[in-house]
A and B are shown apart, each in its own frame.
Chain A
Amino acid sequence: MNRGYLTNSIKLHEQNQHARFIRPVRNNLIRMKSKILLLVLTLFLFCNLEGQEGKKRSWDNQDLTFKEFVIKAESLYDLRFFYKDEWVADIKPGKFNGSFLLTELLDSLFKGTSLFYLVDEAGNVIITRNFALKVSGKADVTDTNFIPPTDYYDSQDNGELSGNIFYDIGNPADKNKPGNVVVSGYINDRDTKDPVAGVTVLVAKQAVGTMSNEYGFYSLTLPRGTHLMQLSFIGMKEKLVHINLNGPGELNVEMNSMLIPLKETVISAQKNVMFQRFEVGVEKINIASFKLLPTSMGESDIFKSVLLVPGVQSVGEGSAGFNVRGGSADQNLILLYGAPIYNASHFFGFFSVVNSDIIKDVTLYKGGIPSRYGGRISSVLDIASREGDRKKITGNAGISPITTHLMVEGPIIKDTLTFILTGRTTYSNWIFKLMEDPSLRRSMASFNDLNGKVTYDLNRNNKIDFSAYLSNDSFRFNSDTVYSYQNNIFALKWRHFFNSRLFSVISVNNSNYKYDISSQSQSLEGFILSHSINTTSFKSDFNWYQGRHEINFGVDLSRHEVMPGNYLPASDSSFVVPVIIEQEKALETGFYIDDKFILTDYLSINAGMRISSFFTTGPRTVLLYDPLFSKSMTTVTDTLNFRSNELCKSYAGPEFRMSLNFKISNKSSLKVNYNRTRQYLHLLTNSTSISPSDTWKLSDYYLKPQIGDQYAIGYYQVLFKGIETSAEVYYKKIKNMVDYKGGTKLIMNEHIEKDLVNVSGEAYGVELMIKKSEGRIRWSLGYTYARTFLKSISQFSEEIINSGEKFPANFDKPNDLVATFNYIFSRRLSFSTNYTWSTGRPITFPVATYNMGNLTLIHYSDRNRYRIPDYSRLDLSLKMSGNLKSRKLAHPNWTFSVYNLLGRQNVYSIYFKNEKNVINGYKLSVFGKAIPSVTYTFDF
């Protein structure tokens, strides 16, 4: 067949002011099933007739079938209907009396179905299923610059069809104008109608690509003419769209999930993602990819997959928190619903605090942190949460050796108001009951968490959601001290679309973290010690797409309140004197703006700035110390008292963020990045990893904000189909980190500044990655060489660590190798394995012993002079989906996994104990054997 363009488009008479237009173009070899007729029909829509369906006709119906309805409609409106009988079998027009427009009737009939209709001016009513036909008309656009968006729909079961249709974008009259134009639009999930973030939109021939943002918005600059646009995303069918670009315009696309009805899809890294991202060091992890990873105790865990990213390390197994490019664990901003989570682990770090059922995807910014994020210097881990299913109520439940979880989601009002609710709890206490040791039998540990979200689409331009997160942990050892902590987050978010190029997100959220440590075994000294941090934030964020610019600006305001420690008697009989350490209060503000600017086809820039400031306010008592001596209680010279709400100390400074993206060729690019970050909140911890009794501290009169500067260069190359490589190099400097004078207690310490030591940090590293992320066999290999050094800065000997020389940080693990391999046998069966090897972390060994009276004491080496043995671990898992029949009541899934298959006793720590005045060394391995687990889940 000849390839031809329609010369005469037809204006449709629709009530909808967003008139929809179609201008399909025939391509050779149209392999359509039922739709061939429809397309052929549209080719012959030449006559410019006044349609009949625009007139009201009176109806008086008595239980017609659709067929009867059609016959009647054809006669009343003088139209002809085209459809397939099987599509309309379920449609019952029912009774209606009165005068109606045909469109009113069809709108109500097809509501909630997958049917679309088009009435052309020749009097044909074309009914389509799963995709809509649109006709574009030049008549509409001659007098205005605004071109209505072209919507792209496609049937789920015939993806290749899309390659045969050309979509006109822009005013055809502009076709021959010179220069490049911008095409932009939104990408939604066809099933849930949720925006899909992170979709790679690529025009391979032009070597132009981008990714959709969190609202599913994308924008590309292309020369006029015909292009093949390729859209891909993990777990979604790849989509090819032919566009005929006349001028600037919009194209909205719906994408389909790959596996239906199974929600979990197989691992698939993002194609071309590294290649197209602006920033260096940004990783996006999809829920599907980490659900396939081997688990340690039958729970999919987001932190476990974060640890597979080059440049991310942890101190050891079961340690809460992770270290990104030489940053300490408190330098990671972990966001859920846009609010910070202050303690991100359950069960001492064996599980992450966010239930994976609620996670849509997770983005980790190791560098190239966009200016809209602030407050932590090393990384941002933004957890995007799912919205409830818009069509029907579904859910899943699962059981593993330690936990059980349940998720339910669905519409309250179809397509408008949805909810999702997930909960998780442990039943691990039974294990303790089996123990022989009586002290362990009296121990317990448990956690539970609850996530919920309600989303309400007010209208096309306004969307509101409310989310809540509640978690609770409690554990006790030997019936003596009970530890418990809670994270609570509430967030309200309003998205408003001013127009298709400008939208805003306004949110208010509150995050509260609190822990209690209590002991009542000795009633006279029974106590409750509690600590909390509460942050209330207001955030407004604007995105403006203007041609080659994507401008993002906004304001953040956060009110922090920290209760450093309350030490209270547990009962009336307790002698404990209540001690309440003065509350800390502060306001943190941030103003930011950045611009993603496509300079030429080969160079794009993302430059931005954030101005952050921090104001601590009274009431506050500040001790002044003799500057000639190290701060201690004996060198106090004066006391300053600040009244309530009086400004005590303020800090402010600019944070520059900048990325350059050079496109060297179609298959390779080079990126350069610099960013500065400031952090006003500090986690006081003098243990190797985050412990449950660590406290948060605000910057104050003495404690300065931490400032991090990171420089990074990345090179990305696609070798041949499906194999991507990347190399990133970074250098980072951190000012004003805190360390501690030896052996100090940080908890209930009223004037912590006297025990703090100022250290500066320096980190550098190379991260190499090669991966294949397509096909049945997928693998990746990542290697990182990274060093992190700290150096104490002080003039007082007490505050000098290692004679003022630089020393490796606790998490300095120079070599790190991660390999993953997946084999997808079939939709129902997949195999996954990963291997990790890294240098052991540094450790301080005792080097000398001496006596004090009857006691033998230890003198330690220089800080972190030695290392624990290397770490190596192999995990594997096999995942089976029980049944693919979509009518089955529940879809069972089995996951068999083995953690630490080689049974290697990886050393977590080495410690020395004085046993009868002999110093003995011990090594502790958290996992001494292979840990098998079985998890059963089912979707309903």
Chain B
Amino acid sequence: MKSLKYFILFSVIMLLSSCVTKFIPEIDEKRELVVVEGMITDQPGINTIKLYKSLPLGRKIAAVPLRGCVVTITDDLGNSSKLYESVYGTYVTKAAEFCGVVGRKYTLKILTNNISTNNYSYESLPMEMKPVPPIDNIFYEKEVIEEASQGVQLKEGCQVYLSTSDPENNCKLFRWDYVETWEFRLPYDVPNRICWVTNNSSKITIKNTSALTENRISRYPLSFISNETDRLKIKYSMLVNQYSLNGDEYVYWEKMQNMTESVGSLYDITPASVSSNVFCIEDPNEKVLGYFSVSAKTSKRLFIEEAFSGVIDLYPGCPSDTIPGSRTVIPNLGRLVWVIIDGTLDMPPYRVLTNDKNCADCSIRGSNVKPLFWDSNK
């Protein structure tokens, strides 16, 4: 069932006058709770558990890590693996020593060695690693956002779909996340012109197939790419990770999704805290945030290199000044202004300046190092 979030839009138009404005709440409490953020998968490589204190809302500071904890992961066969602290508060498994196995149940144990946590110890419920099928297909379809009409250019977006199936019915609870990378080019001939931006998905995407007769997901709308960004201008790629979930974790994500995504309507769910699968041993009433995820994982990559119409130009207002001549000394060059068009060889010579460094150097927004996988679709 689609959420009721359109109610807000609806009331906007129905009354032609409802409105939404930004609001910064005044909060008089300072809560710092222990956060356990971690996931282990069946993929080779390191698994990371992060331990830190939660941040007050709107605070732009870095979280305070919990240093010097003893973190171990045990399974139901009695195996135990100790993690080591790679950076403050970040505990990782040794790639050679630990790899998740489908069907086993894993428990996370944490002994804090920290005054701020009263030296309490924390432990998760035993979490089963469920198998996950491979992603059958990731594909996209062009969608018309706005038809061309008088004075209006055709605007196109792109809907990315995912299909997967598990005929053996081992996996019925799915979660996905993705990493998107796209190439962009500055419209000026500057030294750093071609760059790549990488962005992580920030939406909870889960699916329960137990209500379907056939364990098959076809055309799951994973992401819609609008024409409001330059993702579709040159080339775009998306790496989708598919995770299996056990029942407990599915419920956790579902509750989170209910509370974070169906907001802003007339019928918001009363928010409440969602309980973690990690508990404090000494004080069972202490609230622990976060979740210890145990999932099998498969991945697939998609490339989009087609021309889309009406994609927005992010650099329309770059030129801020034109300086005639080739010898004029430009104050603050390289600090507050940058050259984007160098016409010093033209007659008469001129230079076009910008005061937005983004227009002169693509590495401000992205990286000028081409990702390794970038040409792998060729």
A519:B2 contact, CB within 8 angstroms = yes
Asked if A856 is at the interface (CB within 8 A of a chain B CB), the reply is yes
- CB distance A443 to B177 under 8 Å? no
Residue of A nearest to B260 (CB): A914
Query: CB-CB < 8 A to B27: which residues of A?
Result: 845, 847, 861, 866
How many Å from the CB of A874 to the closest CB on chain B? 16
Among the listed B10, B54, B256, B272, which residue makes an inter-chain contact with A445, where contact means beta carbons less than 8 Å apart? B10
The answer to whether the Cβ of B79 comes within 8 Å of any Cβ in the partner chain is: no
Least distance between A323 CB and chain B CB atoms (Å): 15
How far apart are A851's CB and chain B's nearest CB, in angstroms? 6
- Determine if A926 and B11 form an interchain contact, defined as CB atoms under 8 angstroms apart: yes
- Residues of chain A with a CB closer than 8 A to B274's CB: 742-743
Q: What per-residue 1/0 map shows which CB atoms of A339-372 lie under 8 Å from chain B?
A: 0000000011110000000000000000000000
Interface stretch (choices A274-282, A473-481, A832-840): A473-481
Answer whether A743 and B17 are a contact pair too, CB < 8 Å, given A845-B27, A926-B266.
no
Name A864's closest neighbour in chain B (CB-CB). B270
Partner of B266, one of A567, A689, A921, A929: A689
- A562–B238 alpha-carbon span in the complex (Å): 47
Q: Which are the 7 A-B pairs with shortest beta-carbon distances?
A: A743-B255, A742-B272, A691-B267, A477-B6, A928-B19, A854-B200, A848-B54
Bound CA–CA A841/B266 (angstroms): 14
A-B contact pairs, 30 of them (CB 8 A): A438-B145, A438-B146, A439-B6, A440-B10, A445-B14, A477-B7, A567-B211, A575-B216, A577-B211, A690-B267, A692-B4, A692-B267, A742-B255, A742-B272, A743-B274, A797-B275, A844-B272, A845-B57, A846-B57, A847-B27, A848-B31, A848-B54, A849-B57, A853-B177, A859-B33, A860-B273, A908-B266, A923-B21, A924-B19, A926-B18
For B271, the chain A residues whose CB sits under 8 A away are 742, 844, 846, 858, 860
Instruction: Give the distance to chain B from A822, nearest Cβ to Cβ, in Å.
Output: 26
- B residues 203-260 with Cβ under 8 Å of A? 203-204, 211-214, 216, 218-219, 221, 247, 254-256, 258-260
Within the complex, the shortest CB–CB distance from B27 to chain A, in Å, comes to 6
What residues of chain A lie closer than 8 Å to B20, measured between beta carbons?
922-925
Point out which of A519, A579, A917, A926 has the most chain B C-beta atoms below 10 A from its C-beta. Answer: A926
Is A909 located at the chain interface by the 8 A CB criterion?
yes
Contact of B254 among A745, A927, A931 (CB under 8 A): A745
A517 near B8: Cβ-Cβ < 8 Å: no
Contact with A along B342-378 (1 / 0, CB 8 A): 0000000000000000000000000000000000000
Question: With A747-B1, A847-B31 given, is the CB distance from A687 to B263 under 8 Å?
Answer: no
B10 pairs with A855, CB closer than 8 A: no
Give the distance in Å from the alpha carbon of A917 to the alpha carbon of B199 in the complex.
Answer: 11
Enumerate chain B residues within 8 angstroms of A810, measured Cβ to Cβ. Answer: 270
Contacting pair A855 B13 (CB below 8 A) = no
- In the bound complex, residues from chain B placing their C-beta under 8 Å from that of A477 are 2, 6-7, 9-10
Q: Which of A428, A693, A920, A929 contacts B14 (CB 8 A)?
A: A428
Most B CB atoms within 10 A — which of A316, A445, A687? A687
Interface residue A600 (Cβ < 8 Å from any Cβ of B): no
The reply to whether B9 and A437 contact each other, CB–CB distance below 8 Å, is yes
State A845–B58 Cα separation when bound (angstroms): 12
Query: A30 CA to B29 CA in the complex, in Å?
Result: 80
With A524-B219, A861-B27, A927-B15 as contacts: A919 and B57 at CB distance below 8 Å:
yes
Query: A440-B9, A857-B256, A905-B21 known; A850 and B263 CB under 8 Å?
Result: no
Asked if B264 is at the interface of the complex by the 8 Å CB criterion, the answer is: yes
Give the distance in Å from the alpha carbon of A905 to the alpha carbon of B11 in the complex: 14
Closest chain A residue, CB of each to CB of B161: A522
Most buried by B among A349, A529, A908: A908
- In the bound complex, residues from chain A placing their C-beta under 8 Å from that of B17 are 927-929, 931
Contact check, B267 vs A742: say whether CB atoms are below 8 A apart: no
Contact of B23 with A925 in the complex, beta carbons under 8 Å? no
Question: Do A911 and B264 touch across chains, with their CB atoms under 8 A apart?
Answer: yes
Contacts of B260 in A (CB 8 A): 857-858, 913-914
Interface residues, chain A, with chain B CB atoms under 8 Å away: 316, 318-319, 347-350, 428, 431-432, 435, 437-440, 443, 445, 475, 477-478, 480-481, 517, 519, 522, 524-525, 527, 529, 567, 575-577, 579, 633, 686-693, 740-745, 747, 797-798, 801, 803, 810, 844-861, 863, 865-866, 905, 908-914, 916-917, 919-929, 931
- List B contacts of A347 (CB < 8 A): 14
Interface with A: B93-101, B284-292, B302-310, B313-321, which one? B284-292
Looking at the assembled complex, report how far the CB atom of B89 sits from the nearest CB atom of chain A, in whole angstroms.
Answer: 12
Residue ID in chain B nearest A434 by CB atoms = B13
Q: In the bound complex, how far is the Cα of B102 from the Cα of A415, in angstroms?
A: 82
Complex: A689 Cα to B267 Cα, angstroms: 6
Which residues from B are CB-within-8-Å of A866? 25, 27
A858 CB to nearest chain B CB (Å): 7
Are A848 and B9 within 8 A (Cβ)? no
Residues of A near B103 (CB, < 8 A) are none
Q: How far is the CA of A693 from the CA of B269 in the complex (A)?
A: 12
A744 to B275, CA, bound (A): 12
Contacts of A524 in B (CB 8 A): 218-219
